Chains A and B, each alone.
Chain A
Amino acid sequence: MADNFNKLSMKGFLDNLKGRSARLAAGSPTPPPATDTSREIARALHPGVQYATVSSVADLPDGAKAYELVPDKIRGTEAFAFAPAGKYLTVFAEINGMTVTRPYSIASSPADSCRNKYMIAIKPVEGGFVSNYIIDTWKEGTAVKISDPTGNFDYQPLRDAQKVIGIAGGSGITPFLSFANAIADGDEDFELTLLYGSRNEKAELFREELDALAEKTEKFRIVHVYSDDDVPESDGYEKGFVTADLIKKYAPEGEPYSLFICGPQAMYNFVDEEIKKLDLPRKYVRHELFGEPHNASSIRNYPEGDFPATVCITVHIQDKTYSVTGNINDTIMQSIEKSGIAVPARCRSGECGFCHSIVLAGKYWIPENLDFRRLADEPFGGVHPCVTFPLSDIEIDVPAAK
């Protein structure tokens, strides 16, 4: 090929400049489209917050209650965001002048969310604050504020085995009810064997619904596991706790399976030790949120040292600065909330990163199993206040609550 570089036109550039100006001027003088399909999907799935009304309340065993929610159109929520199975909602509550939040797994099905219904189930907790407040005060017609469906406890066919053993304890049954319904409806495609641990038959939540779903689809099977000593031996259920042996009994042979675990912290502590015996690759073991940490000094690996019992937490939020007294056994988030200051929060387990804040000065400690910070957070003081305990006076910049 001949080198004809010198024949490239210099004049073309000037023409280009003029041509471009003309072309820009010829565009439609009306405002450009304010949205597109991609933006609409993003908005439909992640509206940020949603406003809802309690449409019905149902009593469940042991004082637990199920709340059905519908969109509150008057406050601007026309329709609910689609909720894939396994997601949770964060509930915002105003209690005695405090704005607090709690995550609750969605118990209703993905199909229900398309019909503008969510259901959450809440169990009374001894000494519990938000759960007990909700149980005491929510009734038909109560207006509530919730987040969009969020979380990572979902079935992912490219990652998880086709066969799943679910392990549920207490109110940890709720996401599995959603999974079972999703399987029956065709929104999810995997086989779920659920080991559901309770004290006894009477303490089980959604027993009838779960048994009916197991009748409806072969892809869902439920195994009731009762821990009370005085439960008689029977073929209809298992006695004791969910152990490695029990998992093996129901696990498929010669093919991979995933374990999905959701329950109270005490159950995680027990079951995790059992799971170690199974020597499964980590990819096949998935946990729902661990839950909020309390009483720092009682947590494993709490640092040795002479720390003050109370600390001063200086909080910057936008143009406001607050001074808060915190107990070192409370997380930074708990101390700020107790002072009546709203903070951004979703999972309250260190995982979602929504409360990401920047510590400008001071020492702090984060339990290792709840430390989901990004690597660069450490050198720059990035923390998740929901799992961060102060060890000294702290100055922290917190994003606005939303």
Chain B
Amino acid sequence: MLKYGVVVIGAGNGGLAAAAVCARAGLKTLLLERHNIPGGSATSFVRGRYEFETSLHELVGDAPDGTPGPVMANMEEMGAKVRWVMEKSTYRLVVPAAENEDGFINEDGVRVKIDARMPAGLKAFARKLDELVPGSYDSCIRAFEIGTTMYDLFNYLETVEKPSLSYIAKNIPGLALIARIGSHTVKEVLDSIGMPPKAQGIFTTYWGYMGVPASKFDFLYYMCMMYYYVANGAAMPKLRSHEMSLAMDRAIRDAGGDIWYNSEVTKVLMKDGKPNAVVINGEKTVYADHFICNGFPNFVYSDLFEKNDIDKKFYSMANARSISCSLTTVYLGLNITREQLGMHDYSIFIAPDEDSDKQYQAALGGFGSGFIVMNCLNTAIPDCTPEGTCQLFLTTLTYGDVMRGVSPRDYRKYKNEVARDMIETCEKALGVSIMPYIEEIEIALPPTFSRYLNTPLGTPYGYMLDMWDSMLPRRFNYEKEQPFDNFLFVGASQERGDGYGSAYYSGMKAAGETIKKIREGK
């Protein structure tokens, strides 16, 4: 009989982190993955002479005093050795001017409404914002000040078992602030500190990383992300996300953990009302005391359990929540350099309007929203492609079922139309020519993400981090929302939603809970 202390289902970032922490704690750990490589979203793929970064836009880099960013620190803590490249900038926001709109001709010769190239560093960022929107300096600095208290909050939330609001209010003076802003949206708080609307637009450009616009997203979480990115700048693994995932694979093996690839859990077996084994590829059964699952709850319930195994309240929970956005990404290997192309930035957000809510509304309409994030990895890692070439990736987001009516036979044509529109939108907004230089191209629409991530509508983002279902209330209810005390979910569906850091955190947390239960003999 094959028996483990912990079986981790799925080697996405959450599963990798969970397995690493469990194995390092000395638990007999088995990590199961249905694909042949680790990482889920955190991977890469090769076409011709290009290796494309699959999903990572940026991690938080090291702080000006050299303190590593949170994910960098997490990986170190888990024994995963990765070489990092820092990119000390944040983003550029380009809003092309419509015909009837005021605008100016920028250095690319494009008539734009906004062209904001934002630096890293809190003061530098605020000064730039003030230059673009006079009178916004103080509110920007104020927002960052509130952001600094997030360190304390995150420390508190990560170290306590059950967070207590009254404890926060009474004992941690800085954190009373959190309770005050905890129920307010980005827009409400920015309004309250007097940030001008146009500056808010530039300030909330990162909303696309979480899929929720300023009027629906909680300020607290947005500021956590924003503060770190602006204070520290970005970091990237030198050799694509595959380096991070293989480093985690190695760390798990080094700690005595087992990893089985091409090993899909096809069934969870129950005993006394709790999971006690998994069936792999329909043939091999492995028993365990504890399970950590990187699958998406909605599909895990339908794919792995019998209907009556799951308490109905978990069905209610899954049905009540909205599935967050799906992504579409176009990967381009170009046979010219980024300098020849005229790309000077790493991250460029191209948007039909600076207001995140208007961008969101456009994205609700499906493809063709004009909201695209374009990344040129060569800006951060000059030698990430062979000499004389560069790689770009273009990402847009959509909501809901955008694939309805597309047959498998039409799918490729449909993909090409979507990609053509995205490329042309970028060419126009940036005054560059991309199309003639495409040597390699791959297009990932939601079905591609469905195939590799196995989530509803292919979302990499989990449940929508709407104000009502935001991070803090998820945190305060964490334990109640796991279907069994020996079966914990990790990944983007959990507390912090999408993002590498969020997923690693979810894995480390579930591993911590599991280790504690085992030590307490539960």
List residues of chain A with CB under 8 Å of any chain B CB: 1-10, 12-17, 19-21, 23-34, 36-39, 41-42, 44-46, 81-82, 84, 110, 114, 152, 156-159, 187, 281-283, 318-319, 344, 353-356, 358, 360, 372-377, 379-380, 382, 397, 399-402
Contacts and interface: CB of A to CB of B under 8 A. Distances in A.
Contact of B183 (A9, A36, A401): A9
A14 B476 CA distance: 11
A42 B179 contact: no
17 contacts: A10-B183, A20-B477, A27-B315, A31-B315, A32-B315, A36-B456, A36-B457, A39-B454, A46-B451, A81-B408, A355-B36, A375-B239, A375-B240, A375-B242, A380-B249, A399-B261, A402-B262
Contact of B179 (A10, A84, A373, A379): A10
Nearest to B406: A41
B404 A37 contact: yes
Given A157-B416, A281-B335, 7 more contacts: A1-B194, A10-B169, A12-B184, A31-B307, A38-B449, A379-B246, A399-B260
A33 B301 CA distance: 10
Given A42-B451, A376-B240, A380-B249, A158 B446 contact: no
A19 B477 CA distance: 13
B249 A38 contact: no
Given A10-B179, A353-B45, A41 B476 contact: no
> What class of interface size applies to chain B in its complex with A?
35 or more
B408 A44 contact: yes
B170 interface: no
A45 B46 contact: no
B192 A4 contact: yes
The 7 A-B residue pairs whose C-beta atoms are closest, nearest first, are: A27-B320, A12-B183, A399-B261, A34-B302, A376-B243, A283-B439, A1-B194
B41 to A, nearest CB: 15
A5 B316 contact: no
Nearest to B323: A36
Given A5-B192, A20-B473, A158-B419, A27 B262 contact: no
Contacts, number: 249
Chain B CB count within 10 A is highest, among A32, A33, A344, for: A32
B37 interface: yes
Contacts of B321: 24, 27
Interface of B: 2, 36-37, 44-49, 51, 165, 169, 176, 179-184, 188-189, 191-194, 196, 237, 239-240, 242-243, 246-247, 249-250, 253, 258-263, 280-281, 284, 298-299, 301-303, 307, 310, 312-313, 315-321, 326, 335, 401, 403-404, 406, 408-409, 411-412, 416, 419-420, 423, 435, 437-441, 446-451, 454, 456-458, 467-470, 472-473, 476-477
Contact of A28 (B44, B46, B315): B315
B302 A32 contact: yes
A125 B446 CA distance: 42
Chain A CB count within 10 A is highest, among B49, B169, B319, B404, for: B319
Chain A CB count within 10 A is highest, among B326, B438, B447, B467, for: B447
A242 B156 CA distance: 71
Given A16-B183, A158-B419, A376-B242, A110 B315 contact: no
A281 B439 contact: yes
A41 B192 contact: no
B403 A24 contact: no
Given A3-B192, A400-B281, A32 B318 contact: yes
